[in-house]
Amino acid sequence: MRRKYILISAVLLGLVVISCNHANQRQQTGNSGTAINAVAVKDSVVVKQSVNTSAQVYAKPEVPVLCYHRIADGIKSEYRVSPATFTAHMKILADSGYHYISPAQLYDYLVYNKTLPEKPVMITFDDSRLEHSTIAAPVMEKYGFRGVFFIMTITYNKKNYMTTDQITQLAKAGHTIGLHSWDHTMVIKYKEAADWQKQVAEPKNKLEGIVGKAVEYWAYPNGVYDHKGAEELSKYFKLSFTLYSKRDPVVPLQTVRRMIVPECTSQGLLKSMHRTFEK
Ligand SMILES: [Zn+2]
């Protein structure tokens, strides 16, 4: 079944419910008319949480989100870093006081204004490559980091890609597992309900069965999105991640930017992060 996450349009219509308890729930428009407060009353304890509008989400400072693909020696590609470079990158982030954050923390920051640790960074991986499990995860864990692995599910148990067991192990070790479509077809090509079923709904269900928890995050194949696709994805995911595309101000939660990390020095990585994400 599709999970319906908080849609900004729903916020504006005052349809937000933040608690599943059986207490009275009501919504009210904030004083400014720009935010909705949902109030739940349970045993005379009042829980109040305000939800940001899309404009408010869009206005918040972006958090650096890194995107790695291949981690290997001997391949010429802008989507590759060597294992030594990857290790150096994790070391400089740790030595410079960066704290990894999960997509759940980013969502709570964007939607509920929850506080993030100092110098937050999210470390993500696309395409379910074998070395994500054998190289990236152990290096990150050594430095106390956890990452986000976006799986294209056609690769299950294929040569040079992660097995389903390895994906499960990543989830058990505290990493986040997200979806990267069934076979890497771009979202702008999903024309019919059957396409959404094949590329999103079915692989999401199967991946949830493998990791034993909800899969709530998406990375666009090739980083490419359009407005309609982003709106549709909000029915399935809390957050969706692009690459360098501009964010969509109407659906900022479904167009979170990432930077592809190239083969570069540690100082080069820090400079690129500042340049890409600081206004
Ligand atoms: Zn990809």
Q: By the 8 A CB rule, do 102 and 146 touch?
A: yes
Same domain, 95 and 221: yes
Range of the structural domain that residue 31 is part of:
8-51
Same-domain check for residues 122 and 226: yes
141 found inside a domain? yes
pLDDT at residue 181, rounded to an integer: 98
pLDDT computed for residue 3 by the predictor: 47
Say if residue 12 is exposed, middle or buried (CB neighbours under 10 Å; 0-12, 13-18, 19+): middle
Q: Is residue 260 part of a domain?
A: yes
Query: Quick one: 93 and 165 in the same domain?
Result: yes
- 2 inside domain: no
Task: Inform me whether the pLDDT recorded for 1 exceeds 90.
Answer: no
Two structure tokens written together for 239: 């957050």
Distance 185 CA to ligand 1 centre (A): 9
CB atoms within 10 A of CB 10: 16
Percent of the chain clearing pLDDT 90 (strictly above): 78
Q: Are residues 58 and 46 in the same domain?
A: no
Q: Which residues pair with residue 50 across a beta bridge?
A: 37
Interval between CA 155 and ligand 1 midpoint (Å): 12
Residue 28 scores a pLDDT above 90 = no
Q: Is residue 3 part of a domain?
A: no
In a domain, 1, yes or no: no
pLDDT at 187 over 80: yes
Domain count for the chain: 2
Whether residue 38 has pLDDT greater than 80: no
For the chain, percent helix, then strand, then coil, each to nearest 5? 40, 20, 40
Q: Mean pLDDT of all residues in the chain?
A: 87
Ligand 1 centroid from CA 30, angstroms: 40
Distance 48 CA to ligand 1 centre (A): 39
* 3 CA distance to ligand 1 middle (Å): 24
Asked whether residue 43 falls in the same domain as residue 161, the answer is: no
Query: Ligand 1 center to residue 96 CA distance, Å?
Result: 29
Distance of CA 55 from the midpoint of ligand 1 (Å): 29
* Residue predicted with more confidence, 101 or 14: 101
Pairwise pLDDT comparison (43 vs 272), residue with the higher score? 272
At residue 69, the pLDDT reads: 97
Answer yes or no: do 87 and 39 share one domain.
Answer: no
